[in-house]
Amino acid sequence: MSILIKNGKVVTAAESFYADVYCEGEKIVAIGANLSHEADKVIDATDKLVFPGGIDPHVHLDMPFMGTSSSDDYETGTRAALHGGTTMVIDFILQTQGDTLRNALKAWQGRSQGKAIGDYSYHMAVTDFNDDVAKEVVEMIEKEGITSFKTFMAYKGALMIDDGQMVQLMKVVRKHGGLVTVHATNGDMIDSLVAKNKAEGNLSPLYHYLSQPEVTEAEASGRFADMLHYTGCPGYIVHMTCEGALNAVRRATLRNQKVFVETCSQYLMLDASLYDKGFESAKWVMSPPLREKKDQIALWSGINQGLVQVVGTDHCPFKWEQKKMGENDFSKIPNGHPAIEHRMELVFSEGVNKGKISLEKYVEVTSTNAAKIFGMYPRKGTIAVGTDADIVVFDPNAKHKISVDTHHMNVDYSCYEGWEVTGKTDTVLLRGKVAIENNTCHLKAGDGQFIPRGKTSLTI
Ligand code: URP
Ligand code: ZN
Ligand code: ZN
């Protein structure tokens, strides 16, 4: 199969230029003006942008969590991602405390193999570190192509490790060329605030937000940076929400340290006023919670200052029936919100269209940097000869509304219902095959591949 994309504006993290793109098999084979290659299919990209497929490095598909499971599985989740222009996701394997990484890997392979429509990889969450797990960490890096290790500084009793385990894990990961990532919030502080609020009868979703103040994230982010500095391990903070946490990373730069930072689309454009809607606010119960307008300003600035390298989603959807598990107790509301489908369009509309970031920065934070940090560049994350033909043809002027009636995620509400968006995914290629055209997905379960990853590129 060969495809020629004609007359589009090609955008990479480095530059934008008008060119045709010719793909053969799974790869991009030629880029240039007025290409005359004979192709099985020609896509007219006049007045459209042509950029690398989005990479969302933070999703939770079919994940057992808080007494239920996230409602998108690999099939529905990666299909929805493709509809929005995300061609690859990185999901989180969760080690069960007391069990092995190997068993956790097998469980996640059972959920993904033969089901994924888009490409995927895994981070391995180490929730119980000891000498045996240390050996498995090395195996994951050297044999399985899993080079990033997620840690939780919260969710005590289920996922959290202590600082001693964290430091020992960092030493092993550093030695073998991996990366430690973190959910950086102070779990003990949060648990005590949750308990106090419940004891006082404060049970609505608002108290989820009030139990996780900014300081819980700022403190843990600084502590994580300190442990990275001590061990020399590369690190990445997931789903950063606030100015205080960003300042912890900014302070680390004063000792010439670099800590990678991911924020998520919701933290750039939603705020904590959504917790004022009674139980409906459960739709936005996620950890960390939404913050303030001043935090949105800090995060957009952080993107432009190169302190925030990635915009993911932390897609972790639960249907309304599942959210209702916490109708009488906010601490039982499954944490997470659906976002995998709309990240590319929302960040374009709110970021590029409103003049907050450049087109090149957009590609950098939605695709290229994730590929570099997580060891997949240049196979993924750019448009260049020899790379995977994961390509989005995007109409920057198309206006549309986000709604549960039209989205493809397996969830019965939208956290962005009625939002007017400028910019729409038009056509998507995954490794040289048409994945999305005319709002229809042409790929099937099993067409998505596991992408083994290498060492992080630290020179971003
Ligand atoms: O609320 C969230 N973020 N749910 C998913 C798990 C996590 O902490 O990332
Ligand atoms: Zn988290
Ligand atoms: Zn998450």
Phi, psi of 123 (to 5 degrees): -90, 150
| Structure-block tokens of residue 405 | 């009636």
User: Minimum-distance ligand to the CA of 240?
Assistant: 2
Ligand 3 centroid, distance to 46 Cα (angstroms): 38
Q: How large a percentage of the chain has pLDDT more than 70?
A: 100
| Structure-block tokens of residue 46 | 């006049």
Q: Which amino acid is at 267?
A: Y
Q: What is the mean pLDDT of residues 205-232?
A: 98
Evaluate: CB of 154 within 6 angstroms of ligand 1. Answer: no
Write down the pLDDT at residue 177: 96
pLDDT digits (tens, 9 = 90+) for 92-123: 999 999 999 999 999 999 999 999 999 999 99
Write down the pLDDT at residue 459: 75
pLDDT category at 458 given cuts 50, 70, 90 is confident
Given a cut of 90, whether residue 460 has pLDDT beyond it is no
pLDDT category at 317 given cuts 50, 70, 90 is very high
366-371: long-range contacts, CB 8 A cutoff, minimum separation 24: 366/54, 366/55, 366/311, 367/13, 367/51, 367/52, 367/53, 367/54, 367/55, 368/12, 368/13, 368/52, 369/13, 369/309, 369/310, 369/460, 370/55, 370/56, 370/57, 370/90, 370/310, 370/312, 371/55
Q: What is the mean pLDDT of residues 215-219?
A: 99
- 152 DSSP assignment: E
Ligand 1 centroid, distance to 223 Cα (angstroms): 20
pLDDT category at 150 given cuts 50, 70, 90 is very high
pLDDT digits (tens, 9 = 90+) for 389-403: 999 999 999 999 999
Q: Which domains does the chain have, with CATH numbers?
A: 53-373 (3.20.20.140)
pLDDT category at 355 given cuts 50, 70, 90 is very high
Write down the pLDDT at residue 221: 99
pLDDT digits (tens, 9 = 90+) for 14-60: 999 999 999 999 999 999 999 999 999 999 999 999 999 999 999 99
Write down the pLDDT at residue 131: 98
Pocket test for ligand 1, best of 181, 239, 340 (most atoms within 8 A of CB): 239
Q: What is the mean pLDDT of residues 431-457?
A: 97
Write down the pLDDT at residue 45: 98
Query: How much is the mean pLDDT over the chain?
Result: 98
Give the number of the atom of ligand 1 that is nearest the alpha carbon of residue 183: 8
Q: Which residue has the tokens 């020399």?
A: 232
pLDDT category at 330 given cuts 50, 70, 90 is very high
For the chain, what is the radius of gyration of the CA atoms?
21
Ligand 1 centroid, distance to 58 Cα (angstroms): 9
Ligand 1 centroid, distance to 333 Cα (angstroms): 12
Write down the pLDDT at residue 122: 98
Q: How large a percentage of the chain has pLDDT more than 90?
A: 99
Evaluate: CB of 372 within 6 angstroms of ligand 1. Answer: no
| Structure-block tokens of residue 390 | 């994961």
Task: Check: CB of residue 281 under 8 Å from CB of residue 335.
Answer: no
Ligand 3 centroid, distance to 444 Cα (angstroms): 26
Write down the pLDDT at residue 301: 98
Q: What is the mean pLDDT of residues 147-171?
A: 98
Evaluate: CB of 159 within 6 angstroms of ligand 1. Answer: no
The residues placing their C-beta within 5 Å of ligand 3, an ion, are 314
